Structure 1
């Protein structure tokens, strides 16, 4: 009979096995820790990015932004259909159709909402336009504030004063409406084809995201450090925009046919969340890259040794 602390024919007894397992687990943990430290030394930007994504709470910020965008976009459709001239309504309809490749019931519903009728005596249109206009004024600044909070979190900045930021919220919304109105023409290269449309849309996306950060950060960050985030965001959203026609039309038509308008709402909100998550990730990643020493010295990112002060 073997003692409790001895060894049997089949190897170590139970206490010895436990000690052996603890030793083996400890050695694995040490190896993993060493590997992590080596990775942090070789690729510090990845470590900084992961920690910053957690501190910014990207997915929560993106979900809030998507919800506010949806609450602004829905009444905006009614405003456009109620008070905008026919040419501008057609421009919005063309941009939506070309961007998402809409067809079938979703395209018909879009035409009803945006194009409607041109009868000036339509009291329902006038009433709807007034109510929707008020809703847009109430909700549009919430969307702008959500985007501003995302930019401030990505750049670890305090909130800007309402007196400084108020006009920027409206300017940002108006510029994005204009950008969306011409997006269909940019995508088609003003009728010349995708060979011109793709670079034009890419440049437009990069430019508006570059300007968005500078505007909503109230000029507290110079232009050059904002470039990496605008390049990442503009490129990613351009790619996603061109692939939207592969998914959005089918999903919308299926939701409309099976669940009605409520299904279309969930589909659009899901797509908006996807776009906002991509934008939030890219803005945050760009802010991390701009603060890495090798990039900060070239871009003049403020707040780091050896970099010039804020020139904004």
Structure 2
């Protein structure tokens, strides 16, 4: 009797939860659809994996680029990193020391084979971001193979955008009044092309626009926040704990950025598939609206 009674109560609770979900979906469809998509994407797990891959593979790729890039390009890379994070004091000196040693020593530390391995390993970031985009758009794994060259193409895009961040943030020397809107436009275009590239054209350009705008706006706001928070945090941890402390600060910031990007991309996909936008954008139907075969 005890076991049967517990099963009965559990069944009632499940039925009640389902009824509440249906009622919420009828009254607040957008909120429930967004919550369901967040659960299916597994936002925080996906974002944390993306941040870890970025830290473990993309950051070493910067050292390889610094090893073989011409001095002008290497200097521009340092300038852009400094501009993105607003680095000053010990943190600025640390980044200068890391990326501006003698070229020969840096090349010996990496090596050609090591450089190629780092480049191939860095595609893990592209693959993690691709999985996030596919989950956000409910694209099944089966039958949706996407050419691996897109992973390398995204890395080239990311590196190029990073190198150009310095001039963009400064408004090409004209000041923040131009730099901020330029950063916003650049981020929107970057994420628009990122989704289209990594999804292999499975979703057309127009439906990808809401997510690109949302992601670009959120990451632009985080860029402003980074210039206020990162210099102080990095300088404090470098003083108290040395280089090890800066690792935790950088990884924590990457997690924040990746969570923001994952939330924005997923929210954009849900908005694009809602009735008030799907017809105008030509969005693919959400799985809940797809016709049953």
TM-score by length of structure 1 reads 0.81
Instruction: After TM superposition, give the deviation of residue 136 of structure 1 in Å.
Output: 2.0
| Alpha-carbon distance in structure 1 between the residues aligned to 2:102 and 2:175 | 31
Call closer, same or farther: CA 1:192–1:116 in 2, change over 3 Å.
same
Residue 64 (1) aligns with residue 49 (2): yes
| Alpha-carbon distance in structure 2 between the residues aligned to 1:185 and 1:39 | 48
Aligned to 1:189: 171
Call closer, same or farther: CA 1:269–1:193 in 2, change over 3 Å.
same
Aligned to 2:12: none
Aligned to 2:59: 74
Please point out which of 147, 161, 166 is paired with 1:165.
147
SS in 1 for 2:204: coil
Aligned to 1:104: 89
Residue 207 (1) aligns with residue 152 (2): no
Residue 281 (1) aligns with residue 263 (2): yes
Aligned CA RMSD, in angstroms, stands at 2.2
| Alpha-carbon distance in structure 1 between the residues aligned to 2:182 and 2:258 | 22
Larger relative CO (CA 8 A, sep 6+): 1 or 2? 2
Aligned to 2:73: 88
Aligned residues between the structures: 270
TM-score by length of structure 2 reads 0.86
Is the CA contact (8 Å cut-off) linking 1:100 and 1:245 kept in structure 2? yes
Instruction: After TM superposition, give the deviation of residue 105 of structure 1 in Å.
Output: 1.3
Runs of 5+ unmatched residues, structure 2: 1-15
Aligned to 2:160: 178
What is the 5 A alignment of 1:255-294?
255-294=237-276
Superposition misfits of 4+ residues, deviation over 6 angstroms: 160-163
SS in 2 for 1:164: coil
Runs of 5+ unmatched residues, structure 1: 1-29, 308-312
Q: Which has the larger radius of gyration?
A: 1
